[in-house]
Amino acid sequence: EAGVAQSPRYKIIEKRQSVAFWCNPISGHATLYWYQQILGQGPKLLIQFQNNGVVDDSQLPKDRFSAERLKGVDSTLKIQPAKLEDSAVYLCASSPGNTDDDEQFFGPGTRLTVL
């Protein structure tokens, strides 16, 4: 079974530029998550989708971050404009459902460097 796919794996941009990350979850997984992992810290949830609806985006900086999950499958996370403090690894995860019994499977992440 294929895992969670993310692209690109690495991205370097200058501050004030825009960037987009793509995630393809495990087939059949209804729930999709985007996390931000700053160096030396644990992952922090940015947004959670259930199918194509947003369940939790309370920690998403909505003035610059946006995410969508069209058709309830793939998802895109965008940052516009980027700031230096956005340098981090962006992790996508998916799970069959939204309970404690539904294990979250993580992708390899996209490492963003903002110069």
DSSP category for residue 42: -
Binding residues among 27-46 for other proteins as defined by CB under 8 A: 33, 40-45
Look at residues 38, 47, 40, 39 and name the one whose alpha carbon lies nearest to residue 94: 47
CB 24 within 8 A of CB 5: yes
- 103 touches other proteins by CB under 8 A: yes
Residue 72 backbone phi and psi in degrees, to 5? 70, 20
25 belongs to the binding site for other proteins (CB under 8 A): no
Q: Are 114 and 15 in contact (CB under 8 A)?
A: yes
The region of 9-17, 64-72, 77-85, 100-108 touching other proteins under the rule CB under 8 A is 100-108
Work out which of 26, 56, 73, 111 binds other proteins, going by CB under 8 A.
56
Query: What does the block give as tokens for 16?
Result: 């004030």
The verdict on 8 binding other proteins (CB under 8 A) reads no
Under the criterion CB under 8 A, does residue 100 sit at the interface with other proteins?
A: yes
Tell me which residues touch other proteins (CB under 8 A).
Answer: 3-4, 33, 40-45, 48, 56, 91, 93, 100-101, 103-109
